[in-house]
Structure 1
Amino acid sequence: MAATADPLEAFYFEHEEQQSICGQPVSPITDGFDANYPSVVDRFFTRYYYIRANAAYQVLYHSNRICLICLAPSHPALAQGVSTLSFDVGNVDRSQNVVKGKGKKGGMILQADSTLALLTTETGQTYKIPSCIRGKLVEVNAALVAEPKLLEQLPEGAGYFAILLPKIENCDLIREKLLTQEQYEEYLKTSHEQDTEHLETSKEQKEEEHMKANKEEPGHHGHGHSSPTAAKLYKFTVKVLKIAVKSL
């Protein structure tokens, strides 16, 4: 069956000829494109972060209290590659959460350290995704079960884990316990410095162990062992003495 021609195909590309409306010239809409225009997240959400077991999670906090739980850019799962995601955390399946009405009645009440989902990476590592805040579970992003790669592709969009709604009276305390963008960046800087220091310390320890092992090898100078040069000299001396004895 032949494909049907798209009647709008001619309008998908910018026309070179001047466009006009009621005789007035109109600039192409692409002239108003601003690559630096703030995203939806930048305009309507505030980024906060929650740290658990040296892994960072992002909380996108909307002005109406709605919170989206996501992976932070530094989360190791993004580097390892996301393989699977499940909302069945063992004792309960978060995907079975049901809410009703404007008050979102019936939603599961979660604590900040409650397990929201289980994420497995391509390296076989499993992460228990925390709820990050105390609040009512409004919905989980069920699409992640079939398309877990959305966590990598659209971490601040279709790659969110779930939507939580905290109580009004808890909002200030919740924000105080989370890291701001500036604090998160400082956390990354400090973590990087600590990792670098740890690597340097490990390198120095390995070098010291290597030097110590060399000193303890037979034939090395010191500790009562003969050096290779001394051993050769001894053999040469013995050989000369044998020749001298035979010549007597």
Structure 2
Amino acid sequence: MTEIMKSYYLQEEQQVICGETVSSIVADFVEDYPSTVDRFFTRYYYVQPGKENEPLRVLFHSNRICLIGLAPEHVAFEKGIQAVTFEVGRIDRSENQVSGKKKSGGMILQMDSTLALITCKDGSVYKVRGCVQGKLVEVNKRLVENIDLLREEGDGYVAVVMPKPEQCEAVKAKLMSREEYDKKYGKRMVSE
């Protein structure tokens, strides 16, 4: 923000409007205001048995939309990510087209469906699983061009999946809460 804009928008002095003294607009500014993810999503985690170093994070919105991405402790971050592709076998997940309120036309996913393949600099390839049974709404095509987005909690999602309304509680029951994840894996994985 330029200095002129700062002086205009961030006026610290009080003003008199219609004969009443009004405090500065920035007087109520809170620097540690919760992020969008903290305000609107609940964090869940999925760790496939036998693959504890490949955890996935599921951000569950109250409208039942799920953003699926890599947890910060995923081994791919350590190795260095080289590429992300949505071409899984004969299916290109990026070609998924949905329409309407019920998202008709979306690919039906199971918990073990592969959403994307992540290739690391050492040549190893990791599958990003669906973690949630539901319809694939979209994949994050921006990841193909900007791999660093994967590190960001909200914008770094791999895919958006929408479970059926009647299955939401069952889906949440199969995932780990943030507290369960931190207790079981978080501290051990960060220290490795």
Structure 2-normalised TM-score?
0.86
1:10 equivalent among 4, 8, 33: 4
1:43 Cα deviation from its structure 2 partner: 1.8
Aligned residue for 1:166?
Answer: 163
1:45 Cα deviation from its structure 2 partner: 1.2
Aligned: 1:175 with 2:172: yes
Where does the alignment leave 5 or more consecutive residues of structure 2 unmatched? Answer: none
Provide the C-alpha distance between the structure 2 equivalents of 1:51 and 1:44, rounded to a whole number of angstroms: 23
Aligned residue for 2:30?
Answer: 34
Instruction: Select the structure that is richer in helix.
Output: 1
Q: What SS does the corresponding residue of 1:182 show, helix, strand or coil?
A: helix
1:18 Cα deviation from its structure 2 partner: 4.5
Aligned residue for 1:47?
Answer: 43
Amino acid at match of 1:51: V
Aligned residue for 1:140?
Answer: 139
Aligned residue for 2:64?
Answer: 65
Amino acid at match of 1:119: I
* Contact 2:108/2:134 (<8 A) preserved: yes
* Contact 1:71/1:160 (<8 A) preserved: yes
Amino acid at match of 2:5: F
Q: What SS does the corresponding residue of 1:107 show, helix, strand or coil?
A: coil
* Contact 1:60/1:67 (<8 A) preserved: yes
Aligned residue for 1:111?
Answer: 110
Q: Deviations for 1:91-117, whole angstroms, at most 9, x for unmatched residues? A: 210000011111111100011111100
Aligned residue for 2:124?
Answer: 125
* Contact 2:117/2:125 (<8 A) preserved: yes
1:27 Cα deviation from its structure 2 partner: 3.2
Decide which moves more: 19-28 or 95-104.
Answer: 19-28
Q: What SS does the corresponding residue of 2:147 show, helix, strand or coil?
A: coil
* Contact 2:44/2:176 (<8 A) preserved: yes
Rg larger for: 1
Amino acid at match of 2:36: V
CA RMSD of aligned residues (A): 2.4
Identity of aligned residues (%): 50
Aligned length: 187
1:90 Cα deviation from its structure 2 partner: 2.1
* Contact 1:137/1:165 (<8 A) preserved: yes
